Structure 1
């Protein structure tokens, strides 16, 4: 495919992504908080019963924002099962993200809050990074 064609294809793809994101945001706004919680609990139950989850000893998970799937129950289960939990640590003014070790579920409340209102360790908080240690398997 020639360059101008690939540029047009990229523009079409970007427009489709924007439209899809807008549609998803619209649908999320229509869901009640109770329905969002119900669906989050159902999804969380499916995650913790999955064979890959059960076989894993080190799990990376995001700390959810209000309009996202709520991950609190999954994180609680990680610690109850004696697994290691890793959460995102974003670098300011960068696209870089590490997945750093969380000591306990209760620790989340003590973490600083970002401008996106997400708890995460401070940038100078040195922690084990799941992406930089032996045993990391992105396919699990």
Structure 2
């Protein structure tokens, strides 16, 4: 396990180094490519609810995705990390003006305040897909099967439970 942890740390360090070497123009170009691929995906096109992680400066810029989701009339959900914990909720964002009014975290990302209890929470009101850590090709094949529920155990192993419509 220590070897795996060390390998992950080395990979993160290398990725961070490569990202730092990219110009702002290149980051924007690559962000546009990622956004366009998302917009063309059949699952995005058919979705009515989309959860979007707001980006930090060294990540794929998700501003265009937020604008597109809100502009298309889809429900847009963004994360709120509760202070002092590792829990995250995906809360509904009403508009770009709503986003601009949110407080800024220590990571320089806007998110609803801890005291904001009036927003719809994605997982309590319907199915919402969340991104996961990189997985192996075998795990990708498992994740592509549907309908299903994928869970991780305490050791990070993934398991698949088929869900059947009633």
When normalised by structure 1's length, the TM-score is: 0.89
- For residues 67 and 105 of structure 1, the distance between their equivalents in structure 2, rounded to whole angstroms, comes to 22
Say how many residue pairs are matched: 130
Q: 2:86 is matched with which residue: 70, 91, 95?
A: 95
- Larger RCO: Structure 1 or Structure 2 (Cα < 8 Å, ≥ 6 residues apart)? 1
1:37 maps to 28
The structure with the greater share of residues assigned to strand is 2
1:67 maps to 58
3-state SS, counterpart of residue 85 of structure 1: strand
1:27 maps to 18
What pairs with 1:1-140 in structure 2 (closer than 5 Å)?
10-126=1-117, 127-133=119-125, 135-138=126-129
3-state SS, counterpart of residue 56 of structure 2: coil
- For residues 137 and 22 of structure 1, the distance between their equivalents in structure 2, rounded to whole angstroms, comes to 31
The CA deviation string for residues 64-109 of structure 1, in whole angstroms up to 9 with x for no partner, is: 1111100011111111111000000000110000000000122211
Structure 1 unmatched ranges of 5 or more: 1-9
Cα distance, 1:137 vs structure 2:
4.2
- For residues 5 and 63 of structure 2, the distance between their equivalents in structure 1, rounded to whole angstroms, comes to 32
- Verify the 8 A CA contact 2:50 2:75 in the aligned structure 1: yes
The CA deviation string for residues 5-58 of structure 1, in whole angstroms up to 9 with x for no partner, is: xxxxx1011001000000000000110000000000111011011100001000
3-state SS, counterpart of residue 118 of structure 1: coil
3-state SS, counterpart of residue 112 of structure 2: coil
RMSD, matched Cα: 1.3
- For residues 41 and 97 of structure 2, the distance between their equivalents in structure 1, rounded to whole angstroms, comes to 25
3-state SS, counterpart of residue 86 of structure 2: coil
Structure 2 unmatched ranges of 5 or more: 130-142, 147-166
- For residues 70 and 13 of structure 2, the distance between their equivalents in structure 1, rounded to whole angstroms, comes to 35
